[in-house]
Amino acid sequence: MSRAILAILVCVVSPLIFMQNKQIINVGPPPIGPYSGAVKAGGFIYLSGTLAQDDKGALAADGDVAAQTKKIVERMREVLAAAGSSLEHVVACTVYLRNASDFKVMNDAYRTFWPKDPPTRTTVISDLLIGADVEISMIAVPNGAERTIIHPADWTTSPNPYSYAIKSGDTVFLSGLVPRNGRDNSTVTGDISVQTRAVMENAGQLLKAAGLDYSHIVSGRVYLPDTSSFQQMNEVYRSYFKANPPARATVKAGLAGAQYAVEMTFIASSAPREAINPGTNLSAAIKSGNRLYVSGVVGNAQEGSPDVTLPTRVVLSRIGDTLKEAGYSPADVVDSLVYLTDLNQFARMNTEYRTFFSRDFPARATIGAGLVSKGAVVEIMLTAVKP
């Protein structure tokens, strides 16, 4: 057999497919949509939202929440190994739960995988695909890369299995922050303005411990159980950014604790920063070093129809314009997050999404959530990386 033919065969059977800008990793059951199991690019590994599927792609039969959580993390461990990483090198997790009542069961199963220095984590309540009760997405660094726990000296340890912040290179990942006092874990009570301020102050203390401040935040996700508080949250939120606010998506989602009215999670970076089309509450995108963080873009229903075909097409067209303005292309996208108000529209959204990216798909999580923009049925947020 010639060396050329052998090389082709190796590429075909390998779970790691090398692209100019990114490495596509697919291990285990095939994705249920146009996304890759994981993408390795720019010093990070982005793992798609993962469900407790068996080898044929069906939801595992032994499907209680503890078993689903265990199955998911074990699947993701295999993907990380194929990408040259491990669970010990995960820097950020997002856990989506169908029911808040399952939080403790999930937590107990989850914590067994990280007995020490767990990754940052955000946990929200949302609708999930194929009847799943748990979905988890991750960001990791390769074996040997920096992974430094950031913890203010006067803060107590989190009562749940996550670190408050982790630094790797020029990037700092913050856990989902709720209005809780970091010094003693007591809940900060009050209206949405008080709670938003508490969350932002917590973020500021974590950033300070990492040698950064609010101006270094590049991307944020805001979760509100009650979207009627959106404008009040915004009034407090924007006061922390003198100019060029970070990219952001805000959706309606339940929180693990009913006492909280808001949860926020952030990514910050010390790399050179450029805002693309900055607005009052968010920028269309933030370019930080070789990474581009694009805000959630929403698409509205047409004449009350739930069909997301045209709204998704419009969203992706707008995203394409933002990518182009920043000097990026769809091929540079490594990670994405899709919010749908109706998961029955999953296949229609996928058709437009597949057309936009065509191949070498980014990692992705897709969940059901309410959107704050009236009439919106789909929102897409993403991250791109240049070589």
The predicted-structure confidence for 183-233, as pLDDT tens digits, reads as follows: 999 999 999 999 999 999 999 999 999 999 999 999 999 999 999 999 999
Query: Cβ contacts of residue 104 below 8 Å, gap of 6+?
Result: none
The total number of residues shown for the chain amounts to 387
pLDDT at residue 25 is higher than 70: yes
* Residue 139, number of CB atoms within 10 A of its CB: 24
- More confident site: 16 or 118: 118
pLDDT (tens digit, 9 = 90+) per residue, 310-360?
999 999 999 999 999 999 999 999 999 999 999 999 999 999 999 999 999
CA–CA gap between residue 130 and residue 155 (Å, rounded): 40
Q: What confidence score (pLDDT) does residue 148 get?
A: 98
pLDDT (tens digit, 9 = 90+) per residue, 138-165?
999 999 999 999 999 999 999 999 999 9
Domain covering 16-385: architecture: 2-Layer Sandwich (3.30)
* Residue extents of the structural domains in the chain: 16-385
Strands 90-97 and 120-125: parallel
Of the pLDDT bands very low, low, confident and very high (cuts 50, 70, 90), residue 17 is: low
Taking residues 68-92, what's their average pLDDT?
Answer: 97
Q: Which CA distances in Å does 141 have to 144, 189, 291, 382?
A: 8, 36, 15, 18
Q: Which CA distances in Å does 151 have to 84, 107, 199, 381?
A: 27, 21, 16, 28
Rounded to 10 deg, the angle between the 192-209 and 230-237 helix axes is 40
Biggest CA–CA distance in the chain, Å, is: 72
